[in-house]
Structure 1
Amino acid sequence: MQIEFKATKRDAQGTGASRRLRRAGRIPGILYGGAGETQPVSMDHNELYHLLRKEAFHASVLSIEVDGAKQNAVLRDVQWHPFKQQVLHLDFQRIAAGEKMHLKVPLHFVGADVAPAVKLGGCMISHTINELDVQCLPTDLPEFIEVDLSALEAGQSVHVSQIKLPAGVELVQHGEGDPVVATALQVKGAAEAEGEGEQA
C-alpha cells in the first residue's frame, strides 16, 4: 500500500520558528539521507496525526511530495507532546529503490483461538515481541509479518527462528540466542482445577 502526503520546505529554523508552525497547525520535520541534502520540512498536523494512527504508516515506504517533487522515504522518529495529543516533530529517511533498507515491521498473531494450548490447555498466549527488525529492498517490504500460533501446545513458545519471513526479507539479529516471540502460559485457575482433577 502506497501512502502519500504533502510537505513544504521550511527555511526558518529554531525553537521559535517551530513553535509558530505548531500554532499554525503544522508539524516541523526533517527529510535526510540518500543522494539529497538534509531538508527541513513542515506538514499538516491533522493529516499526519491520522496517518500515524495507522500501523502501516510506520512500516511502509512513504511517498512525500515536497513542493511538487515526490521522494520515497520511511518514518524514522516521532516526537509526541508529553500529555497532549500533539505531534511535535517527525524524522524521515530517504530510500533508494536498489538499496536494502532496515526497518521494524509489526507482527500479526493468528491462530491463537484454535491452538491446543488455549482450547485444551486453558492457557493464555503472551506476546513478548510485537515487531521484528528486518532488512530488504523497498519493493519487498511487508506491512506486517504473520506469526501462526495454531499448533502451540501448553508450556511451549514460538521463537524468532520459527517465523516464516516473506521472500526477500532478512532478519536483523541483535545479540546472541533465539528470542521468544510468544508463549502459552498456564492460567492459575485452570492449573489448579487440573491438579484437583488428578488428585480426585
Structure 2
Amino acid sequence: MAVQLNAQKREDLTKSVTQEIRKSGRIPAVVYGKDKESRTISVDSVDLVKTVRDEGRNAIISLKVEDGSAVDVMLHDYQIDPLKDDVLHADFYIVNMAEEMDVDVSVRLEGESKGEKEGGVLQQPFYEILVRAKPRDIPEEIVVDVSDLDVNDSLSISDLKVTGNFEFMVEPDTTIASVVPPTTEEDLDTEADESGEPEVINEKSGSEES
C-alpha cells in the first residue's frame, strides 16, 4: 500500500508567493507523467522529508491533492539549498503501477571483508545501480555481503543473487566491490619518484648557446 502525502494546489507561481510558501514550511512542487498534464502543488516539508526517510527514495506515494484527487507518484527529483540544506523544490512523477520503469537503487555493502582484516582496502565504485521493475517491485536498496572478499578479490553484478522481481540494467561484469592491497611505503616512494621533475635531454650548456 502506498504511503499518503497531502498536497495543496499552487496556482499563483509568482516569486513572492513561492517565497511565502517556503516561509510557511511548505515546498513548491510539480506533478507530471507520461501523457499527463503537469500540475503545480505544494507539500509540507516535514511530511515529505519524513516520508523519504522512512519509506526510501523510491517509495510509491499516494499524493492526495486538496480537491480530492489522488495519484500514485514517485519523488523524481528535488533541489536543496546548499547553505541551509533545505528542500527548495520537488518533482513528482506519476507512475503506472502495471508498467516497468528504470530507476537508480542505492547499493549498501555489508560485513567486513577478509581482505580488510589483512590490511586491504575495500573499494565501492558505485553507490547506485540502475534496475528495471514495476513500481511496487522496486527494491529499497541492494545489499551486498562482502565478508568473503579477500585481497585482490572483487564482486560483479553477475555474482549477485536477485531475490525480487527486478533486473539489473548494467553489464554483468560491472564491479560492485573489490579489495585492493594496502599501500606500502615502497609504493609511496615509487609514486614520488614517478612524479618527480622529468630529466631534460639535450639541454645546451651556457657555452654552447649562440
TM class, shorter-chain normalised?
A: 0.7 to 0.9
1:167 partner letter: G
Partner in structure 2 of residue 126 of structure 1: 123
With over 3 angstroms needed to count, the CA separation of the structure-2 counterparts of 1:17 and 1:172, relative to structure 1, is: farther
1:170 partner letter: E
Partner in structure 1 of residue 23 of structure 2: 23
> Does residue 166 of structure 1 match 2:159?
no
State the Cα distance separating 1:42 from its structure 2 match: 0.1
CA distance in 2, matches of 1:190, 1:148: 31
Q: Secondary structure at the match of 1:164?
A: coil
Partner in structure 2 of residue 195 of structure 1: none
Are 2:155 and 2:175, in contact at CA under 8 Å, matched by a contact in 1?
yes
With over 3 angstroms needed to count, the CA separation of the structure-2 counterparts of 1:104 and 1:56, relative to structure 1, is: farther
Partner in structure 2 of residue 186 of structure 1: 181
Instruction: Compare CA radii of gyration and give the structure with the larger one.
Output: 2
| C-alpha RMSD of matched pairs (Å) | 2.5
TM-score between the two structures when normalised by the length of structure 1: 0.81
Partner in structure 2 of residue 110 of structure 1: 110
Segments of structure 1 that go 5 or more residues without pairing to the other structure are 193-200
State the Cα distance separating 1:2 from its structure 2 match: 4.1
Partner in structure 1 of residue 69 of structure 2: 69
Are 2:156 and 2:172, in contact at CA under 8 Å, matched by a contact in 1?
no
Partner in structure 1 of residue 144 of structure 2: 147
1:144 partner letter: E
1:62 partner letter: I
Q: Secondary structure at the match of 1:38?
A: strand
Are 2:26 and 2:43, in contact at CA under 8 Å, matched by a contact in 1?
yes
Deviations 1:173-196 (A, max 9, x none): 3xx78332212122336999xxxx
1:11 partner letter: E
Segments of structure 2 that go 5 or more residues without pairing to the other structure are 188-210
CA distance in 1, matches of 2:126, 2:157: 9
Identity %: 28
Partner in structure 2 of residue 95 of structure 1: 95
Deviations 1:144-184 (A, max 9, x none): 112121221101222223222333211223xx783322121
